[in-house]
């Protein structure tokens, strides 16, 4: 019995030494599961920063909205109640409307173009705008490009969308995008999309392969068009109060760990996008209940021409700004 007590005391002592060995605690809150690109990259960041800081920073990752939902997390970051988060761009657009740049349809040629924009002058300007609102902005993380789906009609040409009801996130850009092709955009919480599709409340939606697969939207749609028309991503931010409390060497460790985690996150996102599309395709081939449409160059150009007509609506500085849109298009 005494031996057990001594062992328990020794374990408790070692745990307390480990806990108290860290000089700083960094709580990283996010809303998705640990097996997503964001979740995996958060765990990678945790491990890497603890290594680089030699245990001085204890990183604690809280997935699945265990601490905060995306809507509440930005206020918590400002208060330093949580030190780090990774919300989607749409959560920032009330204070920094220019981030709606990433919602513009057919703005990006491919994922390499997205990364060049994020890692270049345009990305830096957007980071500075968010920093001015009281955050330390670390980096951009990927989800993937969005695809279109419908239960009503195959979406091969822009006119096929006419009169169809599409679910959108709250975004002036996405609203304009669907109106440009004669469709009816419907703002709706993500959690309600499956049942709305199943019941015919809406006809279609736009989402990444991973969202379409994990939420089983493909089961309640007849057609899926590989449009790659829009990009979905996240912005990793940190509490300014927390970051400023760190000595210079630990600030550098944060930057280095984030640089490595971003590279990993981009890999994870690309892998998952491909893997989950293949699962949707398997379902389509097996059941014949879903038709997957690959657009020809001519068809894709028709969609691009129809939707990109909305760009001038967002040329004002208090919306997105002509300079940012043109600089993005011209990024090579």
The string of pLDDT tens digits covering residues 190-218 is: 889 999 999 999 999 999 998 899 889 99
Can you read off the two tokens belonging to residue 225? 């068009």
Average pLDDT on 27-51 reads 93
pLDDT of residue 189: 86
Q: In the chain, where do the E strands start and end?
A: 24-29, 57-62, 84-85, 135-150, 165-168, 184-187, 204-208, 223-226, 231-239, 291-294
pLDDT of residue 20: 56
Topology of domain 16-329, CATH: D-Maltodextrin-Binding Protein; domain 2 (3.40.190)
Contact present, 175 and 185 (Cβ < 8 Å): yes
Question: Domain extents for the chain?
Answer: 16-329
* Distance from C-alpha of 80 to C-alpha of 99, rounded to nearest angstrom: 23
Q: Residues 116, 225, 298, 159: what is their CA dihedral angle, to the nearest 10 degrees?
A: -120
**Is 317 strand, coil or helix?**
coil
Can you read off the two tokens belonging to residue 56? 């001085």
Instruction: Please report, for residues 77, 109, 247, 258, 276, the alpha-carbon distance to residue 252 in angstroms, rounded to integers and kept in the order given.
Output: 20, 33, 9, 10, 36
Can you read off the two tokens belonging to residue 143? 């989800």
At residue 164, does pLDDT exceed 50? Answer: yes
Which CB contacts under 8 angstroms, 24+ apart, belong to 268-271? 268/37, 268/40, 268/41, 269/37, 269/141, 269/142, 269/143, 269/144, 270/111, 270/142, 270/144
Average pLDDT on 95-106 reads 96
């Amino acid at each position: 019995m005494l031996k057990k007590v001594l062992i328990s005391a020794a374990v408790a002592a070692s745990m307390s030494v480990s806990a108290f060995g860290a000089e700083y605690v960094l709580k990283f809150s996010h809303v998705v599961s640990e097996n997503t690109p964001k979740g995996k990259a958060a765990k990678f960041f945790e491990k890497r920063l603890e290594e680089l800081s030699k245990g001085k920073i204890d990183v604690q990752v809280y997935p699945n909205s265990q601490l905060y939902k995306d809507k509440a997390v930005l206020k918590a970051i400002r208060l330093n109640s949580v030190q780090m988060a990774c919300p989607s761009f749409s959560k920032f657009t009330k204070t920094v409307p220019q981030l709606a740049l990433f919602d513009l349809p057919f703005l990006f040629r491919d994922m390499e173009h997205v990364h060049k924009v994020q890692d270049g002058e345009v990305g830096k300007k957007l980071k500075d705008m968010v920093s001015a609102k009281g955050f330390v902005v670390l980096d951009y993380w990927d989800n993937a490009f969005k695809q279109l789906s419908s239960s009503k009609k195959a979406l091969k040409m822009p006119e096929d969308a006419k009169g169809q009801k599409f679910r959108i996130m709250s975004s002036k850009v996405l609203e304009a995008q669907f109106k440009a092709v004669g469709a009816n955009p419907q703002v709706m919480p993500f959690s309600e999309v499956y049942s709305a599709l199943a019941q015919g409340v809406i006809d279609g939606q736009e989402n990444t392969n991973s969202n379409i697969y994990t939420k089983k939207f493909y089961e309640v749609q007849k057609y899926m068009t590989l449009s790659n028309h829009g990009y979905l991503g996240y912005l990793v931010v940190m509490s300014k109060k927390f970051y400023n409390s760190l000595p210079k060497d630990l600030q550098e460790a944060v930057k280095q760990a984030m640089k490595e985690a971003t590279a990993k996150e981009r890999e994870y996102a690309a892998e998952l996008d491909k893997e989950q599309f293949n699962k949707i395709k398997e379902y389509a081939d097996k059941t014949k209940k879903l038709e997957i449409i690959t657009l020809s160059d001519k068809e894709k150009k028709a969609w691009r021409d129809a939707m990109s007509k909305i760009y001038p609506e967002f040329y004002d500085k208090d919306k997105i700004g002509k300079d940012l849109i043109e600089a993005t298009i011209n990024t090579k």
